[in-house]
Structure 1
Amino acid sequence: MTTADSSRRAVLLTVDDDPGVSRAVARDLRRRYGERYRVVRAESGDSALDALKEIKLRGDLVAVILADYRMPEMNGIEFLERAMDIHPGARRILLTAYADTGAAIDAINVVDLDHYLLKPWDPPEEKLYPVLDDLLDAWLSSDHRPVPETKVVGHRWSARSTGVREFLARNQVPYRWYLSDQPEGQRLLAAAGHDGMRLPVVVAPGGEVLVEPSDQDLASQVGLATSPAEEFYDLVVIGAGPAGLGAAVYGASEGLRTVLIERTATGGQAGQSARIENYLGFPDGVSGAQLTDRARRQAGRFGAEMLTACEVTALEVSGPTRTVRFADGSSVAAHSVILTTGVNYRLLDVPGMTEFTGRGVYYGSALTEAAGCEGQDVFIVGGANSAGQAAVYLSRTAKSVTLLVRAPSLEASMSHYLIQQIAAVPTIHVRTGTEVSGVHGSDHLEGLALRDRASGRTELVDCQRMFVFIGAAPRTDWLDGVVRRDDHGFVLTGPDLTAEGRRPPGWEPDRLPYHLETSVPGVFAAGDVRSESAKRVASAVGEGAMAVMLVHRYLEGL
């Protein structure tokens, strides 16, 4: 056992209703073990159980419990029975008088007692410490490691449980996942005082309990910033995908007071990619999570402020000020704004699909579900690069992966290198000219109806996990009436706003819009959200950097 700070030391807990005895036990324990263990004492069974529950929720460990046999309301054996439910790995000692040795011997079978000690135990060097030394050596040799991370207790087919896990994973927050119907999950629920009817239950590292938390509540609890530190900035970047991260890095590194605002998690769709193999400088490929984490840390090192779980609902223009409003009623203002909100996956329009979202149907490559695909037949809907990357990644553990593609081939929508990789994996099957026409199941997805587009024939297949990649659409409705967009909702910029070299309607500056500037001076767009953009990670990063250069030009003209 290593001895880090005291908050992470394992606990020696003693409970005795006699205050004098309680203090004496704690004194002797601290004298020999105080540097390596945290000694906690209680004077009743109920207060000791409360302490054990709090220790459980904090993720700390209990190495040894010493309980007096003769306590009112709850004797030592009854207490140890209940303590076992909370900390089954703790070693158990019963403190008894000579007249109670029979009860102590019986307790060896009832509560799997490790030892009993007769009172008084003087001198402790002969009667107490040798016993504890042996029990601590045995405890240290067992695999009872501390769990200081956030803990999530949920159901395998709970959509919100999946959402919470995805949020934590994509924001690089360490956590442990416990199923609510397994022993450790049940122990955590009991310690938190919940019956498991409402899931997930999230236990923060400090022991705080959240039931079915929103993303914002979750972000606040695990230490992610959700509100701006200042009221006014040089630059607000909305959306933390590759374009937004690129803009934040270059904006902050060039001295602009920069804040990056993200609705869910940094990385966007690229952050969910299992492997990006055509990004410059990574000949062996890089996962979206790795690339995102490096960019996020780089932006932070240059001083960019990052806000998570912030839902942007409006953009307001007042003279030179650009104000961004949030769903909770708060706002932040700046001289300039870069829109890098990217795109959202399109929903598969099949009857009953909504019911199974998060319960077997996942949009994008759900990071937390990969382990659950082991040994299963997995289906992926889509024929573009994101679908191909997911197929190669999931084929490592899945029994089989079937790509369902509406088009007659992959060549028109997928990069050549990915097509070659897929062809080389024997467990990946490609079904072209095929679409999902129906889904079925009880509390989770259990099967699909697949329709052959040429013949019209329908086939029923078993399926518990399906991942959907069928294109994407911008989420820009909140810009209505402020920023001009094309017929598909993508933001128009630069030359797309001008006709025959004329300034767009309502344009006040005595110049044409800069290349990435929108119909509102000082508001720029970069990456996938921009009309006619290349929809590639490298181009998004480049546009983010280029937008910052144009922000400087705009600010110089104020």
Structure 2
Amino acid sequence: MPVYAPRAALPRHDQTFPVLTAAEIERMRRFGEIRHYKDGDCLFETGKLGPGMFVVLSGHVTITQRDGFGRITPVADQCTGQFVAEIAQLSGRVALVDGHAEGDVETLLIPPERLRALLIAEADLGERIMRALILRRVNLLQGSAGGPAFIGAANSSDVIRLQGFLSRNGYPHHLLDPATDKDAADLIARYTPSPEDLPLVVVADGTVLRNPSFSELARAMGMISHIAKGKTYDVAIVGSGPAGLSTAVYGASEGLSIAVCDAKSFGGQAGASARIENYLGFPTGISGMALTARAFNQAQKFGADIMIPAAVKSLDCSRKDGLFALELDDGDVMRAKAIVVASGARYRRPDIERLADFEGRGVWYWASPIEARLCREQEIYLVGGGNSAGQAAVFLASQANKVHMVIRGGGLGASMSRYLIERIEATPNIELVFNTEVVALEGTQEAGLERICTRSRLSGEESCADIRNLFLFVGADPATQWLADCGVTLDRHGFIITGIPANGRSVQALETSVSGVFAVGDVRSGSVKRVGGAIGEGAQVVAALHGFLGDAATPTL
């Protein structure tokens, strides 16, 4: 028997569940078709592709969340004049909730492609709908019952890994402790997992996964969509950080067919920033996740296909039939007339013995609320002197007892924005340790990181401290290995060179040595490595893409 749990009143309820007027519904009719349902019929189901947005013309639709144990949590009751959907239905992705008819129900069903057309054609109405779709996803994320259930310890490195993956992709999930939850305890008893099997993950249809990879979890949840056979895009973008998302928004809004691939999550390194305060138009600051999530939703609104997780293995630049071919790790091949490389950079790993042993077990390369929770009332070490390190230090200082900020150089002025330096200096529990580097890590397989040793670069003196969490923000290396067979020219550090004439042809500012391949953001040699710069390049490259695609379409006389 399903167990129902009450849900507290939602903030901004009227914006989350607005009631449409008869005139507004009349304006929407041209975008959909009438559908009828009998009492108890299922309109959509968790884990299966959603058909679009339902406008309730008569009757009631009950919305509930369901986990893999069959436990059901009420979400909302939608009646005449309201619409049923959340942000996933902009792109026809899997539903995160169940919807059932309560009595006889008449609806207007608006499929995803027509919903996007509605949002653009009916600007005022579209704004209200878009806001509601976003707020509904936010409320699902803030709930404690929906999405996959993780069975394991809260401080497990693999629990943290999977929680981070779903959190950064905007999917709800929850953690169950076998010590206090009977269903979790029963599952452990039934599957008798080894330590390497944990966490167990239970998805909505009851499937149980043993410590899955990102792609295994995504496939079980229905996150991954395969490329339609024979489909060709105008532009394929590799990477969904600020530069890639900016290209997607501006390109799709101007009518280009756009696909975006990313191996892990949208947002890139910027998505992990606790607060960005020097981005134009946000005087009070905004988190990297909030900024990039808005761009992610905006790209979907204009019809961009965003595929996550979808790692690119290689790029074929031979242009058979005039098309580039991206080979993905699942065997799919994406074909496009032009390529934008926005793959950014990977976190740099300093040369410290046993570093790999403690990654995800006390060594971190980003600072999200998940990692901050592990540092509550502890002393931590943070290495780095750039803006990302400064933002992380201020954020972590709100949770940790003390943040030891370790900097190889003798100051911060050359590498960090002044406002961040002032904030760090004003935060009493941040200690700046200059001219110092981490030289050794100690711990065990079972306990993770337990001790850190540092050395003064001036005196050579070494000291050690009992520290369980180390954050590394020491720069990044370009993610360009997948371009090895394409012939794109790189600088000596591996960043992509753009704007240099090649083989006697003129090259646009953001075009690489290979005609039709462009590069934007952190992966590009000479870029400013700032969120604002990446977004600007994403907008700028769209004009270049129009020029390239226009030339390619012009017949030779």
Give the aligned partner of residue 69 of structure 2: 57
Aligned-residue offset at 1:200: 1.7
Aligned-residue offset at 1:396: 0.9
* 1:481/1:220 CA distance change after superposition, 3 Å: closer
Give the aligned partner of residue 26 of structure 2: none
Give the aligned partner of residue 219 of structure 1: 218
Q: Does residue 1:532 correspond to 2:532, yes or no? A: no
TM (normalized to structure 1)? 0.71
Q: Does residue 1:207 correspond to 2:216, yes or no? A: no
- Paired letter, 1:547: V
Secondary structure at the counterpart of residue 497 of structure 2: coil
- The correspondence for 2:166, drawn from 165, 168, 171, is 168
Contact 2:236 2:338 in 1 (8 A): yes
* 1:456/1:180 CA distance change after superposition, 3 Å: farther
Secondary structure at the counterpart of residue 439 of structure 2: strand
Secondary structure at the counterpart of residue 265 of structure 1: coil
* 1:436/1:174 CA distance change after superposition, 3 Å: same
Secondary structure at the counterpart of residue 557 of structure 1: helix
Aligned pairs (5 A) from 1:265-280: 265-280=265-280
Q: Does residue 1:451 correspond to 2:465, yes or no? A: no
* 1:344/1:179 CA distance change after superposition, 3 Å: farther
Cα offsets for 1:39-69 (capped at 9, x unmatched): xxxxxxxxxxxxxxx986234379xxxxxxx
- The correspondence for 2:540, drawn from 543, 546, 553, is 546
TM (normalized to structure 2)? 0.71
- Paired letter, 1:168: L
Q: Does residue 1:472 correspond to 2:484, yes or no? A: no
Contact 2:410 2:435 in 1 (8 A): yes
Give the aligned partner of residue 18 of structure 2: none
Cα distance between partner residues in 1 of 2:391 and 2:183:
33
Contact 1:189 1:196 in 2 (8 A): no
Contact 1:438 1:450 in 2 (8 A): yes
- The correspondence for 1:488, drawn from 490, 493, 514, is 493
> What number of residue pairs does the alignment pair up?
420
Contact 2:4 2:71 in 1 (8 A): no
Contact 1:189 1:195 in 2 (8 A): no
Secondary structure at the counterpart of residue 69 of structure 2: helix
Give the aligned partner of residue 352 of structure 1: 354
Contact 1:381 1:387 in 2 (8 A): yes
Secondary structure at the counterpart of residue 436 of structure 1: strand
- Paired letter, 2:206: G
Q: Give runs of ≥4 in structure 1 deviating > 6 Å.
A: none
- Paired letter, 2:175: W
Contact 1:56 1:191 in 2 (8 A): no
* 1:468/1:178 CA distance change after superposition, 3 Å: farther
- The correspondence for 2:153, drawn from 137, 150, 155, is 155
- Which ranges in structure 1 are unaligned for 5 or more consecutive residues? 1-5, 12-33, 36-53, 63-144, 499-503
- Paired letter, 1:289: M
Q: CA RMSD in A?
A: 2.5
Aligned-residue offset at 1:149: 2.4
Give the aligned partner of residue 302 of structure 1: 302
Cα distance between partner residues in 2 of 1:181 and 1:435:
41
Aligned-residue offset at 1:293: 0.9
- The correspondence for 1:461, drawn from 446, 461, 465, is 465
Cα offsets for 1:458-491 (capped at 9, x unmatched): 1111111111000100011121142111111101
Aligned-residue offset at 1:220: 2.4
Contact 1:154 1:201 in 2 (8 A): yes
- Paired letter, 1:272: A
Cα distance between partner residues in 1 of 2:415 and 2:67:
53
Give the aligned partner of residue 521 of structure 1: 515
Cα distance between partner residues in 2 of 1:7 and 1:172:
26
Aligned-residue offset at 1:371: 1.1
* 1:332/1:192 CA distance change after superposition, 3 Å: farther
Give the aligned partner of residue 109 of structure 1: none
Aligned-residue offset at 1:373: 1.2
Aligned pairs (5 A) from 1:350-389: 350-389=352-391
Cα distance between partner residues in 1 of 2:472 and 2:423:
20
Cα distance between partner residues in 1 of 2:216 and 2:159:
14
Cα offsets for 1:76-115 (capped at 9, x unmatched): xxxxxxxxxxxxxxxxxxxxxxxxxxxxxxxxxxxxxxxx
Cα distance between partner residues in 2 of 1:403 and 1:535:
22
* 1:213/1:351 CA distance change after superposition, 3 Å: same
Secondary structure at the counterpart of residue 315 of structure 2: strand
Aligned-residue offset at 1:366: 4.2
Secondary structure at the counterpart of residue 167 of structure 2: helix
* 1:286/1:8 CA distance change after superposition, 3 Å: farther
Cα distance between partner residues in 1 of 2:329 and 2:511:
25
Cα distance between partner residues in 1 of 2:3 and 2:342:
41
Cα distance between partner residues in 2 of 1:353 and 1:542:
36
- Paired letter, 1:337: I
Cα distance between partner residues in 2 of 1:414 and 1:256:
38
* 1:211/1:355 CA distance change after superposition, 3 Å: same
Aligned-residue offset at 1:10: 6.7
Cα distance between partner residues in 2 of 1:148 and 1:155:
19
Give the aligned partner of residue 233 of structure 1: 233
Cα distance between partner residues in 2 of 1:169 and 1:557:
42
Cα distance between partner residues in 1 of 2:526 and 2:297:
30
Contact 2:246 2:539 in 1 (8 A): yes
- Which ranges in structure 2 are unaligned for 5 or more consecutive residues? 7-38, 41-65, 75-142, 553-557
* 1:183/1:447 CA distance change after superposition, 3 Å: farther
Aligned-residue offset at 1:288: 0.5
Aligned-residue offset at 1:8: 7.6
Give the aligned partner of residue 248 of structure 1: 248
Secondary structure at the counterpart of residue 488 of structure 1: coil
Cα offsets for 1:487-523 (capped at 9, x unmatched): 11101111xx23xxxxx13x6xxx4011101111111
- Paired letter, 1:322: F
Give the aligned partner of residue 260 of structure 1: 260
* 1:431/1:334 CA distance change after superposition, 3 Å: same
**Which structure's CA Rg is the greater one?**
1
Contact 1:241 1:266 in 2 (8 A): yes
